[in-house]
Amino acid sequence: MSTAVSQDVTVGVVIDTLTKSVNFQVNMLLQLGLHLVKERGLSPTYIIKHRTTLEAGLFTWLTEQSMLGFSYEIYDPANQVALERFDIAFAYSNEPDSKVRPLDRQRISEVCRKLTTLPPGTEYRVIVQTAPGAAVVEGWEPTEYLPLGDSVDIEIGEHGYGNIGAKLIYRGRIQQQEI
């Protein structure tokens, strides 16, 4: 003869949405950079060479929710002027969004096809805007944007997941008036 014991068991699951949101954004930002350099005819060497430093800063500032903006600034090193920028503004929320909204690579490619050709020797760099009191991360140093001159702003789209949303805007020159 056998007997059974019945017992109610409660299982709790904690999902760290912020960590998942941060991982999503870091991946999107690095993927964006690789996509942009391909579309704009630049070398991925900067991103590859600085990947560890880039990730350290991005993970730190997104986790502490102190990263306000992120930019790929494409510039002429001989004249120290920006030719164009791809800027991302972040929005943080205490109410996580369960919908995954990836970058619209097709829209990015569409915008890039309409841009003026970059001159030989063009380079790019990453600039991050942080809130006062943000952590200091090794390998990052204070800087300013280079002058951009006459430009147009084109909203490319939004992406995000969980606690962090972002909007991508192109700032620079275009060959055609409509995008």
Sorted by where each begins, the domain ranges of the chain are: 17-172
pLDDT at 118 > cutoff 90 = yes
Q: Do 22 and 62 touch, CB atoms closer than 8 A?
A: yes
Average pLDDT value for residue range 121-138 = 97
For residue 177, the model assigns a pLDDT of 44
Alpha helices for 64-135 (secondary structure H): 105-113
Structure tokens at 40: 């704009």
Q: What angle do CA 96, 62, 82 make, to 5 degrees?
A: 120
Q: Mean pLDDT across the stretch 7-12? A: 63
**How much is the pTM?**
0.87
Q: What percent of the chain lies above the pLDDT cut of 90?
A: 80
pLDDT at site 90: 97
Q: Are 77 and 121 in contact, with CB atoms under 8 Å apart?
A: yes
Is the confidence at residue 63, as pLDDT, over 80? Answer: yes
Confidence of residue 178 (pLDDT cuts 50, 70, 90): very low
What pLDDT, on the 0 to 100 scale, is given for residue 127? 98
CATH number of 17-172: 3.30.900.10
Q: What is the pLDDT of residue 149?
A: 84
Question: Which amino acid type is present at position 151?
Answer: S
Query: What pLDDT, on a 0 to 100 scale, did the predictor assign at position 164?
Result: 95
Residues 70-93 have a mean pLDDT of: 96
